[in-house]
Amino acid sequence: MAGWGAFFVSLLNYKTEKYVIAENRRIGILFRLYQLAVLGYIIGWVFVIKKGYQEREEAIQTSVITKLKGVALTNSSEAGLHLWGAEDYVIPPNGEQVFFVITNYIETPNQRLGFCAELHPCSQECVLSLSPSGIKTGLCLNSTGTCEIHAWCPVEYGKRPREPLLSEAENFTIYIKNFIRFPKFEFSKSNVLENYNDSYLKTCSYDSEDHLYCPIFRLGDLVSWTGNDFQDMAAKGGSVGILIEWNCDLDKDSSQCNPQYSFTRLDINLNNSVTSGYNFRFGRYYKDPNGESFRTLYKVYGIRFDIMINGQAGRFNIVPTIIAIGSGVALLGIGAFACDMILLYMMNTSSFYRERKFEIINFNDTLPRSLRRAQSQSLTSPSLHTIKLGRQTKTNHLQRPARGGAKRRTYVDFSPNWNATSLSDACPDYTHVGPEKCKCWALCKWSRKRM
């Protein structure tokens, strides 16, 4: 119980810092290098690069409008000459953030509902069931050696052309208009400047150096900026990502907030791989003069464009600034703690350092513990231990006239085994300020050497 009682009583003690200067070059150099590293981190990384003094917002509000222009002429054995406009090769045609441009296709014209032969040969599974092309009737046609199906006939046939049929799509242009807004800061901007007129937009082409705010892009350039060849991608299709980044420092002028474009290929481009490329099917339906429906089936290959908007804005605020500075001060404290641990536990002189660093003061005793401990130790005196007094007229072991002869100062020379009692007699008004210093109403000095 006594141990627990002492523990709870010790919780009421007050601890304060005591600064000790340790003349150790290695520890000093280590501590200063750590301080320089922390200051470099706070100033260089936190404030300069990351702008830790700013309040940030990443919840960007955005809208994208797209429009394609260009025509292409194709000539196939199935459909003959065909002129393709933007309303034909862009899906969807209403200009969204994600759109598809047809560059190659397989056309199966004049399909009608009826019975016809499947392309695959007959097998034991030629029974009444569903197939990828229609419904199997369960009959095997001897003339073709394939199962009979009820479907849109004739079924899709032909192979993908090795060269893209719409190779002119490389010169098509796309107009991308982007609006952004940071609601926290009430800041809005667009990638098209308001002072631009129609004639400029009809003739300009995007360039990161000269025409940053021109929203007109050539499809061939978009693909080439991803590191791919347009004609190769157009044959099998692919997916291209267009990233527009808005990183705005609102402490500067709004003209410094500019869009940054980057382009990348999103699909996996592997030769002879089923995962590379992009294609799908759709049909265009018609009616003949008799009212019967028929269609033209297209299996189209092309390039899918995904426009992605990202951004953040920052403005000075005192709260993140204080937090960043406080974090830096805490990091500096870690360095001091680490150096203390080295001096306290990892040095040959650790016990000496601990003795100097930690001291317990008991105000209930008349004398400080350091003087009581010194009283029980033997001390070796230098040639002369002196305490210089003013006009004190206590015991004088050695007297000599003061300068000018008008006044006298008293010098008290203690014996090598001086004690606190004689010190109190010499300095009746002394106040303890450390294990080796005292002060009284005059000036009190002495030195000692530990045996």
- Say what the pLDDT of residue 103 is: 94
15 carries a ligand binding annotation? no
299 carries a ligand binding annotation? yes
Residues 45 and 68 in one domain: no
Asked whether residue 430 is assigned to any structural domain, the reply reads yes
Sorted by sequence, the CB contacts under 8 Å of residue 419 that are 6+ apart come out as 375
**Percentage of the chain with pLDDT > 70?**
77
- Say what the pLDDT of residue 203 is: 86
Asked whether residue 31 is assigned to any structural domain, the reply reads yes
Distances (CA, A) of 86 to 89, 109, 411: 5, 21, 110
Query: Of 328, 357, 386, which one is at a domain's C-terminal end?
Result: 357
Residues 288 and 348 in one domain: no
Residues 285 and 327 in one domain: no
We report the CATH number of the domain holding residue 28 as 1.10.287.940
Residues 375 and 331 in one domain: no
Asked whether residue 111 is assigned to any structural domain, the reply reads yes
What DSSP designation does 274 have?
T
73 carries a ligand binding annotation? no
Residues 249 and 195 in one domain: yes
pLDDT at 95 over 70: yes
**Alpha carbons 392 and 122: distance in angstroms, whole number:** 130
Domain count for the chain: 3
Residues 379 and 234 in one domain: no
Residues 69 and 175 in one domain: yes
- Say what the pLDDT of residue 445 is: 40
Residues 285 and 339 in one domain: no
Residues 35 and 172 in one domain: no
Q: Give per-residue pLDDT as tens, 9-36.
A: 778 887 777 777 888 888 889 999 999 9
Q: What is the mean pLDDT of residues 378-398?
A: 37
Residues 306 and 375 in one domain: no
Q: Centre a 10 Å sphere on the Cβ of residue 372 and count the other Cβ atoms it contains.
A: 13
280 carries a ligand binding annotation? yes
Asked whether residue 104 is assigned to any structural domain, the reply reads yes
**Alpha carbons 295 and 220: distance in angstroms, whole number:** 32
Domain extent for 45: 22-53+317-357
Q: Centre a 10 Å sphere on the Cβ of residue 1 and count the other Cβ atoms it contains.
A: 5
Q: How confident is the model at residue 442 (pLDDT cuts 50, 70, 90)?
A: very low
We report the CATH number of the domain holding residue 177 as 2.60.490.10
**Alpha carbons 162 and 268: distance in angstroms, whole number:** 19
**Alpha carbons 369 and 420: distance in angstroms, whole number:** 11
Q: How confident is the model at residue 390 (pLDDT cuts 50, 70, 90)?
A: very low
**Alpha carbons 67 and 93: distance in angstroms, whole number:** 8
Contact 368, 374 (CB under 8 A): no
**Alpha carbons 347 and 353: distance in angstroms, whole number:** 9
**Alpha carbons 376 and 37: distance in angstroms, whole number:** 47
69 carries a ligand binding annotation? yes
Asked whether residue 222 is assigned to any structural domain, the reply reads yes
51 carries a ligand binding annotation? no
Residues 335 and 375 in one domain: no
Asked whether residue 11 is assigned to any structural domain, the reply reads no
The first and second tokens of residue 328, run together, are: 């830096």
pLDDT at 386 over 60: no
Query: Of 331, 357, 383, which one is at a domain's C-terminal end?
Result: 357
Residues 293 and 322 in one domain: no
Asked whether residue 191 is assigned to any structural domain, the reply reads yes
